[in-house]
Structure 1
Amino acid sequence: MPVIEVARQAGACYGVERALKMALEASDSASQPVHTLGPLIHNPLVVADLEERGVRPAADPAEAGSGTLVIRAHGVTPQVIADAEARGLAVVDATCPYVKRVHRAAARLAAEGYQVLVVGESGHPEVQGILGHAGEGARVVSDEDDLAGLALCDKVGVVVQTTQTAERLAHVVAAVVGRVGELRVINTICEATSERQAAAAELAERSDVMIVIGGRESGNTRRLAQICRERCMNTHHIEDAAELDAAWFDEAERIGITAGASTPAEQIERTVAQIERVVAA
C-alpha cells in the first residue's frame, strides 16, 4: 500500500472561504434573486452547488436584473460596481482582501504618476479588475517576452496578480531594470499562494505521483500543476475524484496530493478516499 500524503498547505484559501460564506449568507437573507458576477470561484463543482442553493452566475449587472449581486473573490473594476448600483442591485462585495490590496497599490502608483505594469495572466478576471484601478497607461505583462516592443514611460510601477509565482515576477522586473528611469515594485503575491506553491514543490520532489485538484479554469491550480510537473513527471490535474485512473498509481510508493485555492476540503477528502479504494483494489 503506497503512502498517500496531502501537501501541508493545500486547498481553499481565506478569500475563497470568505466569498462562499458571503454568497450563502446573502442567499439565506434575501427575498429576491441572488446572482454572482460570473462564477464565484473557478471551481465548477462549487458553482453547481451554489446554483442548487439558488445562487446563480450572471455575466453582467444587466443580466442579473434585480435583487442581490455578489462580486466574486477575483474583484472587478469600479465601473462594474457603479453600474450595478445604478441599476438598483444590492451589491455584496466579496472581493478577496488580498486582491483589494492590489487595487489600492495600483491606484496609488497611477496617482503618483507611474505607468503601471500588471504581472499576470491577460484576460483573467482578477487582472481585468486590477487594470480598472491602474490608470489609462497600464499594461498586462505575462512574462519578460511581453516587454519586447512595449513602450515604457520613465516612471514605471509594478504590481502582480495574487496567484503568480515570485520567479515570474523576478524575471519581469529584471527585464524592466535599465529601461526606465525610476522603477517601483510592489510584491502583491498572496502569502497563501506562495505557501501552497512551496508545499506542492516540496511534496512533488519526493513523490512518484502527484494529483492536483482544482478547476481547469483556475489560474492558481494550473500553476500548481506546472510546479509539480517540473518535479514529478507523473502529475495529473483533476477537477473531481471521478477522473482518477488506477493506471496512474502502478508501482507508486508515494502519492502526493495538493489542491488549488478554490478547492474545498471536502473535495480533497473525497480524492484521498477514492485513491485509497483504487490502490487497494
Structure 2
Amino acid sequence: MNIILAKNAGFCWGVKRVVKLTEEKIAKSDSIIFTYGPLIHNQEVIHKLEEKGVCTLPTDISDNHLDKLPANSSIIIRAHGIPPDKHKKLTDAGLNVLDGTCPHVVKIQENVEYAFSHGRIVLILGDKGHAEVTGLLGYCPGKGYVISIEEDIMKIPENKPVTVVAQSTLDKKTYDKLTKIIKIKWPECQIIDTRCDATTRRQNEAIELCGKVDAMIIIGGKNSANTNRLAQICTNEGVPAFHIENANELSNVNFNKIKTVGVTAGASTPDWIIESVIKKLA
C-alpha cells in the first residue's frame, strides 16, 4: 500500500510555541506549573506533561479555588487565548502568568477589541463553545455574536455597524458561505479575514490529497476542532476518512481495497504520533 503524508501535518507554529514554553518552564522551575485548561487538544501530550508534574486546571475554576493555589505557582495560558477578565483573575490570584496565546490569535483579539471600542458589534465566525471563540467574546462583552450556521445571522440586530472576524481554524467553504450572506444583510460591514494561513494550507493540502488516494487517515484528538474539520473536509470530498488519535486505532480500519492512503494530522498532533502511524501503515 502506498502512503502519502501531507507536508503540513502536525503541530502548527502556535502549538509548537506554547509546548516549548511549557517544556522550558518545566526545566527551569521548582514551583508547581498549571495550565489554564488542557494545553492542547491531544490527550497523549497532556498525559506526558502530567507525568512531568504539569497540572491542568478546569477553565471554570472558581475564584475561591484560584486563591488557594500554592504561592508562586505558574500558570500557562494555552494557544487559544482567554478572555481578559479571566487573565486579570489569574494575576489577581498572585499566579505567575505565562501567556502562550498564539500571536495570530492575539491579532484577532486586538481586532475585536478595537471594533468593540468603536461601538461596533462583532460577528465571530466559528464554533460556539470553542476556547478561542470564548476568549474572543471576552474582548467584546455584550456586543459579540458567534455565527456557526446561516440561521445565526438572522438573529442579529441590523441597526449597528458590523465587524466580522473568524476563528483561526475555520474552513474556507464555511467562511465563504457565511460572509456572502453577511454582505447581503450588511453591505457596508467590515470583514477581516482572520483565518490562519497554516490552517488554510493544511486544509487545501488535504483536499488535494483526496484526489490522489483511496482513503484518508486524519490523526488528532477527537476534541480537536481543527482535526474534526479536516476529517469533515475529506468526507465532503467523497473519500473514506478515518479520524484516529493514535496508531492503535488503525486496527479498526479495513485496508483490503485501499491501494493508496493519504495521511494528515491536526495542529495538536506531535511528530512522534504521526511517525508511529506511518510505521504501522508501512
Partners of 1:70 and 1:265 in 2: CA distance: 22
Of residues 230, 255, 276 in structure 1, which corresponds to 2:236? 230
Report the Cα offset of residue 246 of structure 1.
6.6
TM-score, reference length from structure 2: 0.93
Report the Cα offset of residue 46 of structure 1.
0.5
Asked whether 1:104 is paired with 2:110, we answer yes
Report the Cα offset of residue 150 of structure 1.
2.8
Please tell me whether the aligned partners of residues 210 and 232 of structure 1 are also in contact (alpha carbons under 8 angstroms): no
In the superposition, relative to structure 1, how do residues 180 and 11 fare at CA in structure 2: closer, same or farther (>3 Å)? Answer: same
In the superposition, relative to structure 1, how do residues 197 and 114 fare at CA in structure 2: closer, same or farther (>3 Å)? Answer: same
Match of 1:52 in 2: 51
1:31-50, aligned counterparts within 5 Å?
31-50=30-49
Report the Cα offset of residue 181 of structure 1.
5.8
Partners of 1:178 and 1:246 in 2: CA distance: 46
Asked whether 1:259 is paired with 2:274, we answer no
Match of 1:4 in 2: 3
Match of 2:219 in 1: 213
Partners of 1:235 and 1:262 in 2: CA distance: 19
1:58-137, aligned counterparts within 5 Å?
58-60=57-59, 62=63, 63=65, 65-66=69-70, 67-137=73-143
Partners of 2:252 and 2:191 in 1: CA distance: 46
Q: Which runs of 5+ in 2 are unaligned?
A: none
Of residues 142-151 and 105-114 in structure 1, the stretch that sits farther from structure 2 once superposed is 142-151
Structure 1 segments, 4+ long, off by >4 Å, are 60-64
TM-score, reference length from structure 1: 0.94
Partners of 2:115 and 2:236 in 1: CA distance: 35
RMSD over equivalenced CA pairs, Å: 1.5
Match of 2:22 in 1: 23
Asked whether 1:139 is paired with 2:145, we answer yes
Instruction: Give 3-state SS (helix, strand or coil) of 2:200's partner.
Output: helix
Report the Cα offset of residue 232 of structure 1.
4.0
Of residues 217-226 and 51-60 in structure 1, the stretch that sits farther from structure 2 once superposed is 51-60
Instruction: Give 3-state SS (helix, strand or coil) of 2:56's partner.
Output: strand
What are the superposed Cα offsets for residues 35-78 of structure 1, whole Å, 9 maximum, x if unpaired?
10010000111101110011110114654613000001110011
Match of 2:196 in 1: 190
Match of 1:271 in 2: 277
Q: Which runs of 5+ in 1 are unaligned?
A: 277-281
In the superposition, relative to structure 1, how do residues 23 and 127 fare at CA in structure 2: closer, same or farther (>3 Å)? Answer: same
What are the superposed Cα offsets for residues 170-226 of structure 1, whole Å, 9 maximum, x if unpaired?
211211223236300010000000000001111112211110000011000000001
Partners of 1:28 and 1:152 in 2: CA distance: 53
Partners of 1:41 and 1:232 in 2: CA distance: 29
Of residues 55-64 and 105-114 in structure 1, the stretch that sits farther from structure 2 once superposed is 55-64
Partners of 1:131 and 1:50 in 2: CA distance: 29
Please tell me whether the aligned partners of residues 107 and 134 of structure 1 are also in contact (alpha carbons under 8 angstroms): yes
Of residues 231, 253, 256 in structure 2, which corresponds to 1:250? 256
Identity %: 36
Please tell me whether the aligned partners of residues 242 and 253 of structure 2 are also in contact (alpha carbons under 8 angstroms): no
Please tell me whether the aligned partners of residues 210 and 239 of structure 2 are also in contact (alpha carbons under 8 angstroms): no
Instruction: Give 3-state SS (helix, strand or coil) of 1:152's partner.
Output: coil
